[in-house]
Structure 1
Amino acid sequence: MDVRAGVAAAARGACLALLSMVVSLVLFCLSVVSIALSVVGIGVFTTPWVIGAARANATARRRLAGRWCAVDIAVPYRPLPADAGGVVGQVQRWRWLLKDPATWRDLLWMIVDPVAGFVLGMFAAALLLYGVWGFVLAAGVWRPMREVGYWYAFVPVGGQLTALAAAVLGAGFIAAGLRYDPLILHVHGLLTRAFLAPGRGRALQMRIEHLKESRADAVDVSAAELRRIERDLHDGAQARLVAMGMSLGTIEHLLRSDPDQAAVLLAQTRKSSAEALDELRQLVRGIHPPVLAERGLGDAVRALALRSPVRTEVGDEVIGRLAAPVEAAAYFSVSEMLTNVAKHARAERIWIDMRCEEGMLRITVTDDGRGGADPAGGSGLAGIERRLGAFDGILALHSPPGGPTTATIELPCEQLAPQINPS
């Protein structure tokens, strides 16, 4: 039983109940009145502002559902058209909002939320508060209650003995609250998602838009990678090969006139050829590491763990061979995560868990660092999201301040062959 999580769930339940009863109910009333006033023209000007406030509230509640209830909810609103300005623009915006199905789903939710949402939130808070009240009664508050015949749940409190029984029952309420309040909040989040999540048509449209963006990002990433390879070849191996060609031409002229000098240049050329070969190997390793091609993703990630400056443990789950692009995307994503941890997290240990189940590759990287990781902070996480997006994959990040940080990548995959554990 996690006492801290139970107490936090009770407090959050009270906050959600307050938001459900006050904010949602007020915004629903304002929305209905504003839409009704559209008949006389006033609502045309007031409805966009009221609906905008209702959407802001719904978006905040979606965010709270993800943070407090462990239920992720996508924002379903269609983008507003360009503002034409003036009365015409106001009418266009009014019509667009009322034609958006998400507007009516929000209104329906604002009817349910002050009732069901309020009850669920208050029930989570009441379990703990009512349990504490049982101990307060046992501490002596039962005496003024004796004259009015006070009942604590099903216990009639008329003396110290029955007050102690109320305390015992209160302990049960507290235990139930600590145990089940997180589950009650999760149910609250599921209720919110049932109304505020995108409908089937909008969800499909959003998925298509996401795929278009991810494909465009993949093209940009590929173009940038080709430019990097071209630059590395031009500035590195190509320059050395040109220098080697010039040196060989000089050696050819010196073979008869100055053999000793030719021998010195020949040794330098051999050294340059070894350095050029090493640069080419490093470049090829950056494109597709040999260990990934030869041994598969599991052994490649274990090799990354061995090279990591932070102590890293990899789970024993066996990952079979996957499609080469999927293996490369997962490998470089894990590599970037380990680099981020080493640079920013101030962690002492990293744990990597890899599983391939039901057609999905899931890799979880957890560290005991300071937390606070944010994809918008320029730490490379946004690049991982773009890389995974090309394969319809996702990156889920949980990194509260103070840590720990857990990053999970999911990629659709199909095992091509089982992998045998190295002996």
Structure 2
Amino acid sequence: MTTARESRSPGRSPSATTSLRAAFLIAIQGLAGIVLLPLLIVSFALVVIWVGLPMLALTLSLLRGLAMSQRRLARRILGVKVPMPYRKIGGEGLLDRLQIRLTDPATYRDIAWLLLTICLGFAVGLVAMIFYIVLPLGVLASPVIIRTYLTVTSSVLRRSDTEVMEQRIGELATSRAETVDTQSAEIRRIERDLHDGAQARLVALSMNLGLAEQMMEKDPQMSRELLAESRQSASVALTDLRGLVRGIHPPVLADRGLVGGLQALALAAALEVDVDVVMVGRPPAPVESAVYFAVAEALTNAAKHSTARTAWIWLRHNAGRLSVTVGDSGVGGAVASPGGGLHGIERRLAAFDGTVTVASPIGGPTIIAMELPCELSSEKI
């Protein structure tokens, strides 16, 4: 689950060269908007006969790309980060993706910005560039014009505090529901493993011991055989219980911490894994367990689906955030689909307000970047 954060840094007046480039880009945006608006109108009109569906999807994508260029320009000139508050689009079909975009408030902020940039963008950019011909007026006036224009247009693209809060509440509600579902499924798995494994063996052990007690005087040999069988059943039941506990919190984490746990995963993996982990201190036990199983799932996916021969694990902790990257040299094409391994990683880390970003172009490589807030404790503690 990705959460965008808005941040501001003190803006400095752009240099003459920077202002000239910004003026040129603003003018280009205005021209592009003039071309894009008719396409958008025609696309909406053609939706009724289905021809406009792919056309509308393409036009909205172009609009989003144009608005993103405006956000990057505002960040460079004003020192203000205008986040991209779009709803996440997964591997749905065309209609589903289009529905998500049409119900996303950010799409209509982009359209409002498009109308504004058509009315002002080309004129502002052209005036700012012409002013540079008239020195020193241009050097003084053009940066002011550009900064004013970007401030106004960026306010249209920026989410309100209410929208930020509503999105955050929605993300937390979704994360909580998925966490509850995951924990319920985990509890059912543990109950099933106990019932089918250790419990069944312990019941058989109790019955064998009862029979051995009854046969002690009548048939000592049979009694010894039952006791030997009971001892074997107790050993198997103990192994089952250890495996069950290992699935809840691997002993390697308790003994060697997350760094040692990741190194153990690399050694046990079915492909050659390079490990580059640097961390002073230890995360909380639940975070260690979540990251451990997330990395284990990523390596398992790489071994099963990517045809990769090599992979790598990279881990760092900085500014209160734990960053983990798992990559492989396979064929790529990995997609986070419901019920899949990548979706499971997202759900696992979402419980800790973590994010997962997947880059997996066809032909590879696949890179899974995970990040979550985390404070480390001292090794001594």
Band of TM-score, shorter chain? 0.5 to 0.7
CA offsets per residue over residues 78-130 of structure 1, 9 Å max, x none? xxxxxxxxxxxxxxxxxxx9xx686355312343379869x99xxxxxxxxxx
Q: Gapped runs of 5+ residues in structure 2?
A: 1-24, 73-81, 89-101, 126-151
Match of 2:363?
402
Aligned mates of 2:344, 2:284 — CA distance in 1: 21
Distance change in 2, residues 1:417/1:315 (3 Å): same
Correspondence 1:5-154 to 2 at 5 A: 20-21=32-33, 23-26=35-38, 57-59=59-61, 61-62=63-64, 73-75=84-86, 103-104=108-109, 106-112=111-117
Match of 1:363?
324
Match of 2:165?
204
Q: Per the alignment, in what secondary structure is the counterpart of residue 73 of structure 1?
A: coil
Q: Tell me, yes or no, if structure 1 residue 241 matches structure 2 residue 202.
A: yes
Contact 1:306–1:312 under 8 Å retained in 2 = yes
Distance change in 2, residues 1:371/1:76 (3 Å): closer
Task: Give the letter for the 1:333 counterpart.
Answer: A
Task: Give the letter for the 1:292 counterpart.
Answer: L
Q: CA deviation at 1:193?
A: 8.2
Aligned mates of 1:72, 1:101 — CA distance in 2: 11
Q: Per the alignment, in what secondary structure is the counterpart of residue 314 of structure 2?
A: strand
Distance change in 2, residues 1:255/1:331 (3 Å): same
Aligned mates of 1:251, 1:17 — CA distance in 2: 88
Aligned mates of 1:418, 1:194 — CA distance in 2: 46
Q: CA deviation at 1:203?
A: 2.1
Contact 2:352–2:373 under 8 Å retained in 1 = yes
Match of 2:174?
213
CA offsets per residue over residues 297-321 of structure 1, 9 Å max, x none? 1111111111100111110413521
Aligned mates of 2:379, 2:115 — CA distance in 1: 51
Contact 1:346–1:370 under 8 Å retained in 2 = yes
Contact 1:320–1:415 under 8 Å retained in 2 = yes
Residue among 241, 249, 259 paired with 2:220: 259
Contact 1:319–1:419 under 8 Å retained in 2 = no
Aligned mates of 2:359, 2:154 — CA distance in 1: 20
Q: Tell me, yes or no, if structure 1 residue 389 matches structure 2 residue 350.
A: yes
Correspondence 1:187-336 to 2 at 5 A: 196=157, 198-336=159-297
Distance change in 2, residues 1:28/1:251 (3 Å): closer
Task: Give the letter for the 2:32 counterpart.
Answer: S
Task: Give the letter for the 2:84 counterpart.
Answer: I
Q: CA deviation at 1:17?
A: 7.1
Task: Give the letter for the 2:86 counterpart.
Answer: V
Q: Gapped runs of 5+ residues in structure 1?
A: 1-12, 35-45, 78-96, 121-190
Distance change in 2, residues 1:235/1:19 (3 Å): farther
Distance change in 2, residues 1:322/1:302 (3 Å): same
TM-score, length-normalised on structure 2? 0.67
Aligned mates of 1:194, 1:347 — CA distance in 2: 46
Contact 1:314–1:353 under 8 Å retained in 2 = yes
Contact 1:374–1:381 under 8 Å retained in 2 = yes
Task: Give the letter for the 1:209 counterpart.
Answer: G
Q: Per the alignment, in what secondary structure is the counterpart of residue 337 of structure 2?
A: helix
Contact 2:253–2:288 under 8 Å retained in 1 = yes
Query: Which runs of at least 4 in structure 1 moved beyond 6 Å after TM superposition?
Result: 16-19, 28-31, 53-56, 63-67, 69-72, 113-117, 191-194
Match of 1:181?
none
Aligned mates of 2:330, 2:39 — CA distance in 1: 42
Task: Give the letter for the 1:200 counterpart.
Answer: D
Contact 1:397–1:406 under 8 Å retained in 2 = yes
Q: CA deviation at 1:292?
A: 0.9
Q: CA deviation at 1:20?
A: 2.7
Contact 2:106–2:157 under 8 Å retained in 1 = no
Q: Tell me, yes or no, if structure 1 residue 375 matches structure 2 residue 380.
A: no
CA offsets per residue over residues 218-275 of structure 1, 9 Å max, x none? 0110011000000000000000000000000010011111111111111111111111
Distance change in 2, residues 1:344/1:102 (3 Å): closer
Task: Give the letter for the 1:234 counterpart.
Answer: H
Larger radius of gyration: 1
Aligned mates of 2:191, 2:110 — CA distance in 1: 52
Contact 2:306–2:332 under 8 Å retained in 1 = yes
RMSD of Structure 2 on Structure 1 (CA): 4.0
User: Larger helix proportion, structure 1 or 2?
Assistant: 1
Distance change in 2, residues 1:378/1:197 (3 Å): farther
Distance change in 2, residues 1:63/1:240 (3 Å): farther
Task: Give the letter for the 2:179 counterpart.
Answer: A
How many matched pairs? 296
Match of 1:151?
none
